[in-house]
Amino acid sequence: MGKLNLIASLNNDLDEASAIETVNGSHLLWTIEDAGNKNNVYGIDLNGNIVKNIDINNAKNEDWEDLTSDHLGNLYIGDFGNNNKKRDRFTIYKINDVANLNGETQAEMIHFKLPKGVKSKDFEAFFLYENDFYIFSKENKSSVLLKVPNSIGEHSAKLVSDFNLNGKHHKITSAAVSPNGKTIVLLNHDKLWKITNFNSSNFLKGSIEELKFDHDSQKEGICFKDNNTVYITDERNHSEGGNLYTFDLN
């Protein structure tokens, strides 16, 4: 069992932190809340305090689920949660130079529809790799991996693969790729999957290692602190959760 190291309790205003992300040029960690919450991104310090609260005034939080960023310091919000499987069009919001923003801003928008033949699914996890977004569906059994270009405008996603991680419970709630591009992590409530030795045409053909945590909670956010360590957040549920952790992948 891998030990989660508790770093901080998140500010009480963040009941449903659904993502965590580091951004080049920023000393803060960035988070969002999911469906029904504000259209805001929050910069937090390592004590869990909200240092920045930025209103994205042209965005709607239909169901924000994950964050990723690029090497230029831009932050991307994945608005692709789809619990009722009714959505057929999804949005990724691009927040330019988030470290230097204050108060409010406007986002650029990347829209995508599903590939032909792929039924509407719930997506909660993505990352940016070689200027494409890779988006994972949240399923009990067989999941899909989609690819969408990092380009403002309308797109039709491409199906990279469908896949089935070992075990009956493998709902993927967040995903991230390491700074050196050599390790991918997929998050679940009680474990993560570490993927290495992959090529960009299909990550799921790489080496997949399951790393179990020493406790189970509603973990919704993961990002890399460095190439061997990740930050993880969980949602607050009564007296449990609402925390920021680190986890060593080695």
pLDDT tens digits for 44-89?
A: 999 999 999 999 999 999 999 999 999 999 999 999 999 888 898 9
Q: Is residue 170's pLDDT more than 90?
A: no
Give the model's pLDDT for residue 223.
98
- The residue type of 96 is N
Write down the pLDDT at residue 86: 87
Query: 121 vs 30, 83, 165, 226, CA distance in Å?
Result: 26, 8, 17, 31
- What pLDDT does 168 receive? 53
Q: Please report, for residues 13, 35, 42, 174, 233, the alpha-carbon distance to residue 31 in angstroms, rounded to integers and kept in the order given.
A: 12, 14, 5, 12, 9
Average pLDDT over the chain, rounded to whole? 93
- pTM to 2 decimals? 0.96
Task: Yes or no: say if 163 and 170 are a contact pair by the CB < 8 Å rule.
Answer: no
pLDDT in tens, 123-164: 999 999 999 999 999 987 788 999 999 999 999 999 999 888
Q: How confident is the model at residue 109, as a pLDDT?
A: 98
pLDDT at 121: 92
Please give the share of the chain, as a percent, with pLDDT higher than 70.
98
What was the pLDDT predicted at 169?
A: 66
Map residue 206 onto helix, strand or coil.
Answer: coil
- pLDDT tens by residue, 111-127: 999 999 999 999 999 99
Query: Residue 35: what pLDDT?
Result: 84
Phi then psi dihedrals of residue 171, to 5 deg: -65, 120
Q: Which domains does the chain have, with CATH numbers?
A: 5-248 (2.120.10.30)
Neighbours of 13 (CB within 10 A): 12
- Cα 177 to Cα 183: distance, rounded to the nearest angstrom: 6
pLDDT at 176 over 90: yes
User: What is the rounded CA–CA span in Å between residue 231 and residue 14?
Assistant: 16
